[in-house]
Amino acid sequence: MLCFTACGSKKENLQYDKSTITQATDFLIEYCNSADADTIEQWNKMTDFQIESQLNQAGVPFTKDSFLAALDAWQQGTKECGEYVSHGDYKFEPSSDELKVTTSAKFKDRDADITFVFDEDLYLDSTTIDAHYSIGEIMEKAGLNTILGMGTVFVILIFISILISLFKYIPALEEKFKNKGKAESTQEAAPAPAAVAAPVVEEASNDDELAAVISAAIAAYEAEVGGSTDGFVVRSIKRRPSNKWHA
């Protein structure tokens, strides 16, 4: 019974000091409103130790990250709502693990809700500025978002359709590249043409002339020595391997 009772018991809300939280939020609003671009840049250039030291000296329940985030949120809020004018009373909403503090604020261009969230240790966790828009402005934004979304979809669909229409050229291009590759490989693999041997020209005419000269010389010699050349015919001439004369 004790176990079930303990498990089913609800955690108590955070205990906080309203005046301390009010002072912290007032300080944050005033500082964010007075900080210019140079001051924010100077904070961003500080080291973690320097920022923590500054916040501890000021005695505010802020961490480095939550403080810098609050400065950034304030800058973004003033861009959207205009210059800060004033704010109303704070509304405290504690829970078991956080404390939410909200207030309605007036800016030059439009009103907004400022929300501060403190963690279970009552240190600032986040800061948000929610601008108030009229129904007409909300509808205008919704319409613009719808047009932008539909336009994006149509542009993507058109691009996809163009891309699909180009698919029919892919096989032809692929075949072209394949044929080109085959032609190049065939050219590279083709052997070089063998050298054509020069035709051997028979020196028949030269041999005939030589035979005629030799025959004439032998006939002349036989005529001088009184011999007869009847029945003398040169049928063939053979060259000796060596051209040297032997005794």
Residue ranges per domain, the chain?
10-132, 133-167
Of residues 93, 67, 92, 78, the one with CA closest to residue 131:
78
CATH code of the region 10-132: 3.10.450
Of residues 117, 34, 32, the one with CA closest to residue 76:
32
Backbone angles phi, psi at 72, to 5 degrees: -65, -40
216 and 232 in contact (C-beta within 8 Å)? no
pLDDT along the chain (247 residues), means of 10: 49 89 94 91 91 90 93 93 94 94 94 95 94 82 85 90 84 79 64 55 58 74 65 63 52
Burial class (CB in 10 A: 0-12, 13-18, 19+), 114: buried
Which 3 state secondary structure label does DSSP give 12?
A: coil
Instruction: State the residue for tokens 């699909």.
Output: 164
What are 214's two structure tokens? 């030799």
Per-residue pLDDT tens digits for 138-157? 787 788 888 888 889 989 99
